[in-house]
A and B are shown apart, each in its own frame.
Chain A
Amino acid sequence: MLRSLLIDAEKCTGCVQCELACSYENEGLFNPAKSRIRVFTFHHEGRFVPYTCTQCAEAWCMQACPVDAITLDGDTGAKVVNAAVCVGCKVCTIACPFGTVNYSSDSGKVVKCDLCAGDPACAKACPTGAITYVDADQTGFEKMRAWAGKTDAGSAASA
């Protein structure tokens, strides 16, 4: 079963444990500046929104790469950067409509979410369940269940 990161911004408190976990898993230190997932704060709206690569099927980053440094991990569906091949041309950062592929001036390569080979550290570190790793074909399941619970039958059942 292919799984996908599911982000529920309603549950996010902006604590950035996901950023810490990502940087620790991938870079071996605690450094939000090196995280592939980022939490955005909209202070006046009272909203916190974690954002990272959606591993889109079309994968423009992968298509745009002139040296085929980005490949599909068949097990996880992740589009993975092979740092040994990446030449740091940044074309993928332009191709990605969401801005989730970024250049690292330290390494001269690009970095993006690779789903931690199927065990994403951000989801494990999230204390509120705002980031979960679920069946890729059923990302709407919890939302459907929440709405279902609002029907007369649903509220009667839970009462």
Chain B
Amino acid sequence: MSWAGKILRVNLTQGSCTTEALNRQWAQEYLGQRGLATKYLVEEIDPKVDPLSPENKMIMTTGPLTGTMAATSGRYSVVTKGPLTNCVACSNSGGFIGAEMRFAGWDMIIFEGKSPKPVYLYIVNDKAELLSAEEIWGTSVWHTDEWLHAKHQDPMLRIAAVGRSAEAGCLYAAVVNDLHRAAGRSGVGTVMASKNLKAVAIRGTNGVANVKDFGKFMQAVNDGKKVLADNAVTGQGLPTYGTQVLMNVINEMGALPTRNMREVQFEGANKVSGEAMHESRPSDGKPNLTTNAGCFGCTIACGRISTIDRGHFSIENKPEYWGSSGGLEYEAAWALGPDTGVDDLDALTYVNFLCNEDGFDPISFGATLAAAIELFKEGAITTEHTGGHELAFGSAESLVWGAETLVSGEGFGKDLGLGSKRLCEKYGRPELSMTVKGQEFPAYDPRGIQGMGLAYATSNRGACHLRGYTVASEILGIPEKTDPLETTGKAGLVKAFQDATAAVDSSGLCLFTTFAWSLEDIAPQVDGACEGDWSAERLAELGERIWNMERDFNLRAGLTAADDTLPKRLLKEAAKTGPAEGRVNDLDKMLPEYYELRGWSAEGVPTDETRQRLGLS
């Protein structure tokens, strides 16, 4: 309790589906989702395995609270070794399929091997089978979704799929579920496609019944919901503006990376902000934002559903994009907007639609395109490479062309699918790649938010805001305000955020609750539902265990302390404007203390004492 207690193992090479009992001891040590699936992964694969080989495995996993009545209980993760970073990859998604997996009776699905032909996994409660996907191979996620619903005559079927970008080998392809939610980062979709696995379709009608103590659980759940409703961010800001509430805020703080992180403020930020999404367009009188939307069980509902102006150049002759669909989140809006210099909200929204339709990460795509534009500007890429297309910062045409070309998988689209690091290496200017460990940055410039520099440099899946979101403290004052330009105390702050995040990511709940909740709010919910005694302290320690397990895997995969760094631009080129003007990121002032606090050697390796303390073998 409250785990389903059952794992589905799918051997794609053999075409077999077998049931296993969940390792209950590991569940006590790693909880679920990110922690527990990563435990299975590190036990089962060689860290040096080629991420796109049949020897890699991919795990779809829920947490013990997934599918329950806890607020935001719709989360699931995809865990694998990632092709972008060669590190452990764990991408978290909402929507509805995670809960459906629990309702069908599964904690996780482990995919291994590679199918000789394209297949999809079809699950109805305890029955699972692999069926031919040859008819839908080479089609989009949206088409696949429609085809599967029609084929099985089941409107309630929940579907996760990969699109054409994943099939074409784009290294940052996503697994998209429920049309517009995605396990977006680190190329987990690329791994799925490499296994000839097109989709997972699930129908579960058994529900979640095995909660340890319903009375205690419901009390904790209702307390938690009240905290979310009463909080300004989760009760007001996120439902109204989504994560896009941040665009103007971060720009004002001088931490909005602009034009491939050459600048830290974008003059067009207000045109692509959460506020702008509410404003009526002069062209058709309608706002970009149609409504907000909740994932399964979510009482926050930060999701955006948007509609593009039918007369906009990107879709004027494409009626298939005239309806509403998943709109811009902050990170996507930033990568497609400020980082490429484009301030055309509907162009950003159209490219965001394409990201969902064909399954690629808008952050990595936008950042890779930004690097390509700078390479073009520098003359390292020419129209010879792009088939005659001029690339320019601020050009919505460049943005739209780049995304459509990526989906085609042809010509320069192949280059864009490499990601920023490999693209810049290919064209001889590796220093122009804004990445850590091969993964592109999200939307917070670490020159203006010092702690984020350390969080990026030490993140176990490369540059990422979702591994230690010290923005909460440094900008928003959650749980308490720290000075974003200060380095003192940031090592401890980063560690605390990383550990707590690892625990939340293992529960089945959404990280966004932590704008309002601490582990003190989450522990009673876990404790009400799950076997064992669960306190905030235990969750924090569990998070630390997970962090070290991921680190250990990455080290065995070949990473070293030298990879815990930032691009030279962020360490040497000072911010030109705003509150952080004149500042670089002072990573060297924070990193040694971080290693020490983590109980790692000066080489960034967990000491025997640390391993023992955390019970890592």
Chain A residues with a Cβ under 8 A of chain B: 13-17, 20-21, 23-24, 27-34, 43-48, 125, 127-128
User: What are 11 A-B residue pairs whose CB atoms fall within 8 Å in the complex?
Assistant: A13-B239, A17-B299, A21-B69, A29-B208, A30-B68, A31-B207, A33-B156, A44-B325, A127-B71, A127-B229, A127-B301
**Residues in A neighbouring B307, C-beta threshold 8 A:** 46
Q: Let me know if A15 and B324 touch, CB within 8 A.
A: no
B379 located at the interface, meaning its Cβ lies under 8 Å from any Cβ of chain A in the complex: no
**Residues in B neighbouring A125, C-beta threshold 8 A:** 69
**Residues in A neighbouring B67, C-beta threshold 8 A:** 30
Q: Let me know if A43 and B69 touch, CB within 8 A.
A: no
Q: Let me know if A15 and B229 touch, CB within 8 A.
A: no
Complex Cα distance A43/B297, Å? 18
Question: In the complex, which residues 99-132 of chain B have their Cβ closer than 8 Å to any Cβ of chain A?
Answer: 103
Complex Cα distance A44/B322, Å? 8
CB distance from A24 to the nearest CB of B (A): 6
Residue of A nearest to B229 (CB): A127
Complex Cα distance A28/B69, Å? 12
Q: Let me know if B290 and A46 touch, CB within 8 A.
A: yes
B488 located at the interface, meaning its Cβ lies under 8 Å from any Cβ of chain A in the complex: no
Mark interface residues in B162-182 (1 if CB within 8 Å of A CB, else 0): 000000000000000001000
CB distance from B347 to the nearest CB of A (A): 20
Q: Let me know if B301 and A13 touch, CB within 8 A.
A: yes
20 extra A-B contacts, CB within 8 A, seeds A15-B299, A31-B206, A44-B325: A13-B303, A14-B294, A15-B297, A17-B71, A20-B69, A21-B69, A24-B218, A27-B207, A29-B207, A29-B209, A30-B207, A31-B103, A31-B209, A33-B205, A33-B207, A43-B179, A43-B305, A45-B324, A46-B290, A46-B324
**Residues in A neighbouring B229, C-beta threshold 8 A:** 127
Complex Cα distance A10/B295, Å? 17
Q: Let me know if B209 and A28 touch, CB within 8 A.
A: yes
Q: Let me know if B305 and A46 touch, CB within 8 A.
A: yes
**Residues in A neighbouring B388, C-beta threshold 8 A:** none
Q: Is the interface of B mostly helix, strand, loop or mixed?
A: loop
B350 located at the interface, meaning its Cβ lies under 8 Å from any Cβ of chain A in the complex: no
Residue from B68, B204, B208, B295 in contact with A15 in the complex, judged by beta carbons closer than 8 Å: B295
B296 located at the interface, meaning its Cβ lies under 8 Å from any Cβ of chain A in the complex: yes
Residue from B211, B296, B325 in contact with A43 in the complex, judged by beta carbons closer than 8 Å: B325
**Residues in B neighbouring A46, C-beta threshold 8 A:** 290-291, 293, 305, 307, 324
Q: Let me know if A23 and B325 touch, CB within 8 A.
A: no
Question: In the complex, which residues 277-307 of chain B have their Cβ closer than 8 Å to any Cβ of chain A?
Answer: 290-299, 301, 303, 305, 307
Q: Let me know if B305 and A33 touch, CB within 8 A.
A: no
Question: In the complex, which residues 194-221 of chain B have their Cβ closer than 8 Å to any Cβ of chain A?
Answer: 204-209, 211, 214, 218
CB distance from A42 to the nearest CB of B (A): 9
Complex Cα distance A114/B567, Å? 62
CB distance from B106 to the nearest CB of A (A): 15
Which size bracket describes the interface of B in this complex?
35 or more
Complex Cα distance A23/B103, Å? 13
**Residues in B neighbouring A15, C-beta threshold 8 A:** 294-299, 301
Counting chain B CB atoms within 10 Å of each CB, the highest count among A27, A28, A30 belongs to A30
**Residues in A neighbouring B207, C-beta threshold 8 A:** 23, 27, 29-34
**Residues in A neighbouring B103, C-beta threshold 8 A:** 31-33
Residue from B69, B225, B298, B325 in contact with A30 in the complex, judged by beta carbons closer than 8 Å: B69
Q: Let me know if A13 and B294 touch, CB within 8 A.
A: yes
Q: Let me know if B68 and A31 touch, CB within 8 A.
A: no
Complex Cα distance A21/B293, Å? 19
Residue of A nearest to B228 (CB): A127
Complex Cα distance A17/B222, Å? 12
B323 located at the interface, meaning its Cβ lies under 8 Å from any Cβ of chain A in the complex: yes
Residue from B205, B291, B299 in contact with A47 in the complex, judged by beta carbons closer than 8 Å: B291
**Residues in B neighbouring A33, C-beta threshold 8 A:** 103, 156, 204-207
Residue from B205, B293, B295, B297 in contact with A48 in the complex, judged by beta carbons closer than 8 Å: B293
Question: In the complex, which residues 241-300 of chain B have their Cβ closer than 8 Å to any Cβ of chain A?
Answer: 290-299
Q: Let me know if A13 and B69 touch, CB within 8 A.
A: no
Q: Let me know if A16 and B296 touch, CB within 8 A.
A: yes
Complex Cα distance A63/B579, Å? 73
**Residues in B neighbouring A24, C-beta threshold 8 A:** 69, 214, 218
CB distance from A45 to the nearest CB of B (A): 6
**Residues in A neighbouring B293, C-beta threshold 8 A:** 13-14, 46, 48
Complex Cα distance A128/B238, Å? 13
**Residues in A neighbouring B295, C-beta threshold 8 A:** 15
Complex Cα distance A28/B324, Å? 36
**Residues in B neighbouring A45, C-beta threshold 8 A:** 323-324
Q: Let me know if A13 and B297 touch, CB within 8 A.
A: no
**Residues in A neighbouring B225, C-beta threshold 8 A:** 127
6 nearest interchain CB pairs? A31-B207, A44-B323, A15-B294, A46-B290, A127-B299, A46-B324
Complex Cα distance A47/B239, Å? 16
Q: Let me know if B69 and A17 touch, CB within 8 A.
A: yes
**Residues in B neighbouring A44, C-beta threshold 8 A:** 323-325
CB distance from A108 to the nearest CB of B (A): 16
**Residues in A neighbouring B301, C-beta threshold 8 A:** 13, 15, 127-128
**Residues in A neighbouring B292, C-beta threshold 8 A:** 13
Mark interface residues in B313-324 (1 if CB within 8 Å of A CB, else 0): 000000000011
**Residues in B neighbouring A29, C-beta threshold 8 A:** 207-209
Q: Let me know if A30 and B208 touch, CB within 8 A.
A: yes
CB distance from B284 to the nearest CB of A (A): 15
Complex Cα distance A145/B103, Å? 41
Complex Cα distance A145/B297, Å? 30
Residue of B nearest to A10 (CB): B291
Complex Cα distance A33/B100, Å? 10
Complex Cα distance A31/B205, Å? 7
Complex Cα distance A30/B99, Å? 10
